[in-house]
Amino acid sequence: MGAEQRPPAPEAEQPRSEFYQTLENRWSKGLFVCVGLDSEFAKIPDFLKKGSVVQNIFNFNTRIIDATHDLALAYKPNSAFYEEMGVDGIQALILTADYAKRKYPEIPIILDAKRADIGNTNNGYAKFAFDIVGADAITVHPYLGKEALKPFLNRKDKGVIVLCRTSNPGAGEFQDLIVDDCSYGDTPLFGMVAANVFRDWNEHGNVGLVVGATYPEELEKVRKTVGDMPILIPGVGAQGGDLEKAVRNGKDSNNQGMIINSSRGIIFASGGEDFAAAARRETQKLTNEINTHRLA
């Protein structure tokens, strides 16, 4: 996806869904940090581990939420950390989402579940994410194509965030493979994903992409392809992504458009009784840094 062979730049403004407008309201306040609620039980402070697992996780999450609610763009629980605890974990996830939506309804919840399957199966995944958990958005795989993902895409009031160029070290094994396409020329697979999602998948204005901060050059190329679509950017903090480059390459034409996720660097900033205050401190610090780079 080089300088001469790149999908044409976006030509027209796309529709904006309820989910997008919720993000826009938060961006207008200078809020860009997505707090990842990757609440791994073993890492929760020991003093909280009293009573049931459900209560332990719920208490941890809600104290993080209460401490950061005025600084967070969004909250992103990773489904795996709840599923591994079985019924107790799923209950804690549902209770956490319900608490956040009741107390802070202006803050979107993104369920990081990376779902994708055939259409009938996706009906079940969509129902769980949106109707049982109560999430405002979900992460999905593009591999099965638009048709299979319609149970997510057709939920006009919900966000669908498509994996494009992920933050993990081995992401390029498939995502960097060159695709020879007569419409776009030779371009990496992740570039084709970005172009297709922008041109064909976003008719309701409820779609975004995942591009890791660990690959800033690829992030820049995706941003040029998709215009002002929201981009979820994991990989800062513990994964070592360069925040300055991520902001410079990830911001849209309005200096917004970014959902910059930090999980462990925020929620496990302290293992003591001050863990919630430490989470707030790290969220504020990251917010300040993002805005410094964003407005430079």
Catalytic residue numbers read 114
HSE at residue 208, side-chain half, CA atoms within 13 A, is 27
* Distance separating alpha carbons of residues 57 and 82, to the nearest angstrom: 9
* Distance separating alpha carbons of residues 127 and 121, to the nearest angstrom: 10
* Distance separating alpha carbons of residues 94 and 112, to the nearest angstrom: 14
The contacts of residue 241 (CB under 8 Å, 6+ apart) are 167, 212, 213, 214, 216, 233, 234, 235
* Distance separating alpha carbons of residues 242 and 245, to the nearest angstrom: 6
Amino acid at 151: P
With CA atoms as reference, report the closest residue to 131 among 155, 114, 113.
Answer: 155
**Token duo for residue 214:** 């660990």
* Distance separating alpha carbons of residues 80 and 104, to the nearest angstrom: 24
